[in-house]
Each structure stands twice: as structure tokens, then as C-alpha cells.
Amino acid sequence: MNHRPFHDHMMLISQLCPSDAYTQIIAQQGEKKPRRRRNKKNKGGENGASSEANKKRKLSVEQVNLLEQNFGNEHKLESERKDRLAMELGLDPRQVAVWFQNRRARWKNKKLEEEYSTLKKSHEATLLEKCHLESEVLKLKDQLSEAEKEIQRLLQSGDRVPSNSSSSSQSQSVEAMDPPFLGDFGVDGYDDDVFYVPETHYINGMEWINLYM
Amino acid sequence: MNHRPFHDHMMLISQLCPSDAYTQIIAQQGEKKPRRRRNKKNKGGENGASSEANKKRKLSVEQVNLLEQNFGNEHKLESERKDRLAMELGLDPRQVAVWFQNRRARWKNKKLEEEYSTLKKSHEATLLEKCHLESEVLKLKDQLSEAEKEIQRLLQSGDRVPSNSSSSSQSQSVEAMDPPFLGDFGVDGYDDDVFYVPETHYINGMEWINLYM
DNA sequence: GTTCAAAACGTAATTAGGTGA
DNA sequence: ATCACCTAATTACGTTTTGAA
């Protein structure tokens, strides 16, 4: 065992002297919401705890638990909270800050993944609906052509009926409706005959709204 | 300046004995695609160049360039290549390996983001198509109902025409057509009277389009 | 079935660049 | 106009998983 080329020397000497370095922190700003920045002076003695020979990667589970808990409450970390946490955990405030930074980065990635799979589901559902609609369109076109045939038949069989008053010219107007909007987009195959919306009304569906909520 | 609390102690004790270790590598597997893992024996002296007092985080641009170039060719890194690269770059083979690992991780994230935006575009396009289809359906239903009305009119005005032979029962079948496929899926809202919603009226300001542009 | 080096994963820490008070 | 903090990218370490011998 121990086939690690370099490093592997002196790990986890762990934190020596946890005292000190948390002395001048905690007090000194009484505002409600400094909201951000400019909280401490904190120059001079940076650091402290853990000077020479500090190799301890990996925080303990309790430390991580507390950090996670705090992260759950609020992803941002004000100085006050940072210093309090650092003290409670026996860590350098800088470490706490770093932990939060990294945690936010991780969270962002995870969120991206979640959004991806959500979007994917949504996309698949929409594709299905699109299929439904396509077959619906086919069905309706079929029915329509049947109806047109029927009309032709009726007109021929009893061809002294003069009552073609209003809407018999529709069979032609099907292809020549003005597009209400969306003059041209990248979407092909809809360049003319877009969206219709003549005398009919209503709207339907609205399921798409779910996609955004 | 220099307010870095910890670390900064002996990093990279680095590679001593640079000799050897490239002796038994190169040869010895004649397969085309070992595909993964298990390439070399390569125990013992890792390392390469760059020795004492090595503070250098951050690889030089040339180093990164060469690494990137190699990564572009192939994301996987066989021991042979690793050792060759390490030698050329004056790095520890382990550093090269780590660099590749991290690079792969980065690449994965970037790919995710790309796929996300691709999927998103696709999704939006599909939504548009779906909208088109929905209006198409409305249009057809409108036309169909007009046609049905026309048929009724014709039947009534010339009501001694006995030629209702084949397809005159259609006026009812509008709502009761068997779905061509997709008997039932997880998609709700299509169970009955799909998309029709009789005389109601519409609206749709179409402001939703703003959500995508 | 066991072994074990490399891949994969998770995360700590550093650096650089940007921002606001 | 410095200072504290942020994001993003990097480097490296530690642990777990994996697959070929």
C-alpha cells in the first residue's frame, strides 16, 4: 500500500493551537444589515491558528454539518456569521469563507443539472403533445376533405340549391390567410398559413404555462 | 501583503531521482485499444524535473498550451503519453495526470452547459411548432364546423335528396374520433374533447412570446 | 475471487479579476 | 481609493470506484 508518489508525507498534523486568532473578531459592528462588505478592519495578524505544518484537508462531519445547516439558511455569508461560525468550528474565518465560496459553486452546478433534467422532461412532454397535435391535424384534414366531398356530392345531386351565401369559399382561403404575427422566424414550414385565427375563437391549451412555473 | 494563513510550506517536495522510471514503460502492450486503465506497471520513481524550492502554482502558458493541445487530441491519457508529456514539460507525471483529471471535469461541466442551451433552443422551437399546430387545429376545426353547417344546410334545403349513402354521420364523429395512436400516455388533458372547446372565445394576447425572445 | 493502479468524484485552497461601500 | 467580499478558474489532495491482470 501507500503508492502515492508525492505528498503522503506528514498529513494531518491537524490543528495545533486552536486558541488565539479569534480574539479581535467578534464585536464591533452593531448595524442591522450592513448587507455587505466593510465590516472588519482585521489587518495585521492574519491567520494564526495553525501555522507551520498544517496539512489537514477534510473538515470533520460536525463541522460540515454546521456549515451545511448555515448554508441552507442563507447562501451568503456576512462577516458576523462568518466569524461566529469560525469560532464555533475552531476554524480560520478564511476557511469558512472559502467553504462557502466553494459550496456556492457546487450548488450552482447542481442546480444546472437539475434544471437540465427538468427542461428535458418538459421538452419530451412537449414533443408528445406536438405528436398529438400532428395526428389531430391529420385527422381533421381527413375529416375536412370528407366533408368537402360530401358537400360536392350534395351540390351535384340537388344542384338547384342557390344558398351558397356565406362561407363556401373557404376551401380556397385555407392556404391564404394572413399571419397575425411572427412574420418570419427561423421555423420553417409555416411561412404562410400561419396561425389562422379568423372567425374562431378561444384558445386552448395553455398547458405550456406549466413549463415555466 | 501576504496574508495567507496557512499552507505555503513545502509543497512539492518534488521529484528527486528523475532517472529511471521511463525504462519499462513504452513497450509492452500491443493491443489497439486497451481502452481504459491498466497500462503500465510504472511503480517506483514518479517525478521528472523541477526540483527544490518549488512554489509554483500555476503552470506556464507553454505548459498549458501543450497540455491543452494534447487534451484536444484525446481526453484520455495513457501512461505513455503522460510520461512523455511530463518529461517534455518538466513536470511530475502525477501533475500531468491531475491536470488531465481536472480538465476532464471542467470539460464535463462545459459540455453540460452547452447541452443545456442546445436543449433549450430545441425546446423553444418545439413550443413554437406546437403553437402553430394548435392554431392549425383550431383553424381546421373551424373549417370543419363550417363545412358541417353547410352540409346541414344543404340537406335541409334540398331535403328530398336521398343520397346520404356513405359518410354523412360525420357531424357527430368530430368529437369521437379514435386517436390514431397514443392511446394513453402520461400526458393529461387530452382525454376527451381534445383541444376543441366549442364556441368559446379565445384570446391570447400572445405576450408569452416575449418570454422567448 | 483478489489485487491494485488509474479513473472518477468531492472538496480544500489559491489566484485573478471585478464590485461596492 | 483601499478593503472586504464575490465569482470563476485552477491546482492539488483524499476517497471511492472500477476494470484488467
Model confidence at A156: pLDDT above 50: yes
pLDDT band at A210 (very low <50, low <70, confident <90, very high): very low
Is the separation of the CB atoms in A198 and A177 below 8 Å?
yes
What pLDDT does B56 receive? 54
Name the grid cell of B10. Answer: 513545502
> Residue B94 and residue A7: Cα distance in Å, rounded?
11
Residue A77 Cα, gap to closest chain B Cα (Å): 20
> Residue B172 and residue B181: Cα distance in Å, rounded?
20
Rounded average pLDDT over B87-97:
85
Q: Check the CA dihedral B26-B30-B36-B40 and report its sign.
A: negative
Rounded average pLDDT over B179-205:
38
List, in order, residues 6 or more apart from B203 with CB less than 8 Å away: A201, A202, A203
High-pLDDT (> 90) share of chain A, %? 16
High-pLDDT (> 70) share of chain A, %? 47
Candidate ranges A52-61, A144-153, A178-187; pick with highest mean pLDDT? A144-153
pLDDT band at A150 (very low <50, low <70, confident <90, very high): confident
> How many Å separate Cα A153 from the centre of its chain?
57
Mutate to test the interface with A, among B118, B133, B156 (most CBs of A within 10 A): B133
Q: Name the residue closest to D2, CA to C1'.
A: A38
Cβ burial A103-127 (10 Å sphere, 16+ → b, else e): beeeeeeeeeeeebeebeebbebbe
| Chain B residues 38-97 with CB within 8 Å of chain A | 43, 46-47, 92-94
Residues of B in contact with A183 (CB under 8 A): none
Closest CA to B139 of A103, A113, A97, A190: A190
- Tell me if B135 and A197 make a contact (CB, 8 A cut-off): yes
- Give Cα separations from A98 to A91, A211, A212, B200 (angstroms): 11, 36, 34, 59
Name the grid cell of B91. Answer: 513536470
Higher pLDDT, B43 or A57: A57
What pLDDT does A56 receive? 59
